Amino acid sequence: MSNVVVVGTQWGDEGKGKVVDILASRADLIVRFQGGNNAGHTLVVNGEQTICHLIPSGILHKDKKCLIGNGVVVDPEVLLEEIRILTGKGISITAKRLSLSEKAHLIMPYHKALDLAREAAKGKEKIGTTGRGIGPCYEDKVGRRGIRAIDLLDPKVLEEKIRSNLEEKNFLLSKFFGADILEFQPIYDNYLVMADKISPFISNVSLEIDEAVRKGGKILFEGAQGTHLDIDHGTYPFVTSSNPVSGAVCAGAGVGPDKLHHIMGIVKAYTTRVGAGPFPTELLDETGVYLQEKGAEFGATTGRRRRCGWLDLVMLRDSIRYNGLTSICVTKLDVLTGLDKIRICVAYNLNGKSIDHMPADLKTLAQCEPIFEEFPGWKEEISYAGNMDQLPRKTRDYLERIEEVSDVPLSIVSVGPRREQTIEMMDPFLAPCVLRPAS
């Protein structure tokens, strides 16, 4: 029996939400371990779309417990609004179904104000932040001046921390950025009101996970963003402020590495990116527009148009190394249907030399030219395929080449947005038990 970690292998938006939703039906606990509400997981169940930003997407399964780990930075207003929306859809959100780590850091209004002020000051050099205060909140966390969920339970501590932080933040906002300052009382009063609503959910998440493991429960760990937005291993500085890689589960949920058994990497059948930053396989032609429109490539959180390009196996190989992937899941394969030719980047050409990794220096990366392999496309509808044999031969050739180059087995292939539009070759909770080998 395995505990499973689901991570993105690209720049986020790989379709992790659907995969987590499917796997959650077999798990006892679903745990989010990093990021904030700069992430969005879009789910389609019974024809209805639901977008989760903080609460793990497993919440749609009524008998499952979802946990928000200490590695997540939480905007209380967003969390309460998400609870309200889910409740309005008939989804019960109680302390029996949702826990928030007492050690999770809280996003404050001054974090969002600083985020926006800094991005505006950068002008053309901006990095494409969502402006939701994620980065400044993580800064306060590592600067040892953050406000944690547990502080909501002590009004005096909360008051002292807000006052202390506001003194510094208002100085930066007014003196450095020329922005408006924030008043203490409205912030404090609002957070006291939210504290009453959130306090029932505050818990020791690490203990909850440990108790489930001791009872033989199955844990599903859910990441946000993608490997190449990782603060350490991504295309810095065009990255997020946390670690989306699998190793961050240990710090972000309070578990030991011996509890992580199967690491599943989610790979979109092509590549997308939101915001600024390098993108070697980006398509700036009609094919890029085709992928964007057919794939409905707009950010679930920001609504921004996603840049689109061919699948990049150089970045996938890096992700395999960073995460220690056990299997890969290919999503949105159906979006490629209808193209005459499909390409996969298998290496980069750097000054006449073939390389198989992404350079850390962005100027060097910008000089890299993708080396492509070309495949004939397919016209057949694949969204009704229930197994690999029902896919066209050309589609299977494409998948088999991904598997061959990555040297990691396929476990799941998604051929549409709905739960049932999924082909499973392996159950990660039972791995290495293979249900059906890829054809």
11, 236 in Cβ contact below 8 A? no
Q: Which of 21, 41, 75, 228 is catalytic?
A: 41
Phi-psi region of 221 (alpha: psi -120 to 50; beta: other; left: phi over 0): beta
Q: How many residues does the chain have?
A: 439
Strand bridging mode 353-355 / 410-414 = unpaired
8 A C-beta contact, residue 366 and residue 391: no
Question: Rounded CA gap, 237 and 127, in Å?
Answer: 7
- Report in angstroms the alpha-carbon separations of 420 from 281, 347, 382: 31, 34, 13
Q: Which of 13, 75, 230, 318 is catalytic?
A: 13
Q: Is 189 an active-site residue?
A: no
Active-site residue, 13 included:
yes
| Residues whose CB falls within 8 Å of the CB of residue 235, separated by 6 or more in sequence, listed in order | 11, 228, 229, 277, 278, 358, 362, 365
Torsion of CA 107, 120, 81, 202, to 10 degrees: -10
Which residue numbers are catalytic? 13, 41
